[in-house]
Amino acid sequence: MRLAVAATPGVAIPTLEALLESDHELVRIFTRSDAVTGRGQNMRESEVAAWARVHEIEVVKTVSANDLEGHLKDLDCVLTIAYGFILPLQFISTPRYGFINLHFSSLPQWRGAAPVQRAIEAGDDYLGVTVFALDAGMDTGPIYVNEKVLRNPLWRTSEALTELATVGSTAVLATLDLIENGTIPLPQSDTGVSRAAKLHKDEAVIDWSQPAAQLRNKIAAFYPNPIAFTIFRGAPLKLVSCALAAADLDLKPGEIHLSKAGLFIGTGEGNIEIQRVIPAGKGEMIGADWARGIQLIQGDLCG
C-alpha cells in the first residue's frame, strides 16, 4: 500500500521504522509545523519531521488539519499517531482505505489526549494499544487490533510509552494485513468507556494529604510532562521519580525526612521515598543529594 503517516511526537518513530522496513511504501509524512520550544525559545521541528528528513521522505508541515487537502488522493491509507489535530470528516474517506489511528489504550477505555497518563494515574493494572478506523467521533471508530499490556509498576509515562510504541508498531503492521485481506473492523463496545483529558500544569501540584499510593501513581503519570511538583521554602520542586516507603516512619503529610536510607515525605496514608528531583533553576539530581545540600531542618514541610 501507498501510505502516509500523520504524527508529531517521537512515540511514532518505532512505527515509522517498521513501515520503512515493510513491503508497504511510506511516501509522505504529515506533522505539525515547527514550534518555539525550550528555554532558548528556538524554533524546532517535530521529532517526526527530523526522522523523515534523515530518511528522505516527503514532509508536509501543517498549521491545521486543512493543510492535508491536496495531499491525500494518491494514497491508499493514512495512519495517525498523536498528530494533534482533529481531521475534517470529508478527508477521512479520501484515501482508498481511509484513515486509521494508533491509540495508546485498550479502547473504549481512555478515549482522548492522554490515555497512558490517565491510566497510570488511575493505577490501572493494564495499559494497551488499539488500531481503529477513524470516524466522526473522538476515538470511537471500529477496531482492527486491540491489545492489552500488563503495566510494570515501576513505569512512568516515559517508560510506558516506549514499550507501547513497540507494541503499537506490530499492531499497525497486523492492521494493514487485515485491511488488505478485506477484514471489517469491529464496532467499539459501549461498556467501559472512560475519558483521558489532557494533563494541565495546574493539576501537577501535589496534595500531600492524599494517600501515598495515589501520589506515587500521579508522580509516575506526570513524567516527563508536565512533571508533578511541590513547593518547598517558596520555590517549586519537581518530583521526577518515587517509590512507596516503609510504613514505620511516623511523618505528617508533607513532612520531609532524610536518613541514610533516603529522602522521605509523609502523606495522608503512608510515606513516599523521593528518588529524583529537579530543584528550581537546577538540573535533575538524586533526591537525597538535594536534601543534604539544602540543610533540612527537623519538621520541614512541603506544600
**Which pLDDT tens digit goes with each residue over 167-204?**
999 999 999 999 999 999 999 999 999 999 999 999 99
Domains and CATH numbers, the chain: 2-195 (3.40.50.170), 201-293 (3.10.25.10)
Type of residue found at 131: V
Whether the CB-CB separation of 121 and 46 falls below 8 Å is answered with no
Pairing of strands 229-232, 99-103: unpaired
Instruction: Read off the C-alpha cell for 23.
Output: 513491503
Alpha carbons 149 and 128: distance in angstroms, whole number:
5
pLDDT tens-place values along the chain, 303 residues long = 999 999 999 999 999 999 999 999 999 999 998 876 666 567 889 999 999 999 999 999 999 999 999 999 999 999 999 998 889 999 999 999 999 999 999 999 999 999 999 999 999 999 999 999 999 999 999 999 999 999 999 999 999 999 999 999 999 999 999 999 999 999 999 999 999 999 999 999 999 999 999 999 999 999 999 999 999 999 999 999 999 997 678 999 999 999 998 999 999 999 999 999 999 999 999 999 999 999 888 889 998
Per the DSSP assignment, residues forming a β-bridge with 149 are 127
Name the nearest CA neighbour of 242 among 225, 269, 262: 262
Q: Looking at 224-303, which runs of residues are DSSP E strands?
A: 229-232, 235-244, 256-259, 262-266, 271-279, 285-286
Give the predicted TM-score (pTM) of the model: 0.95
What string of DSSP letters covers 36-105? EETTTTEEE--HHHHHHHHTT-EEEEESSGGGGTTSSTT-SEEEEES--SPPPHHHHTSSTT-EEEEESS
Alpha carbons 121 and 216: distance in angstroms, whole number:
8
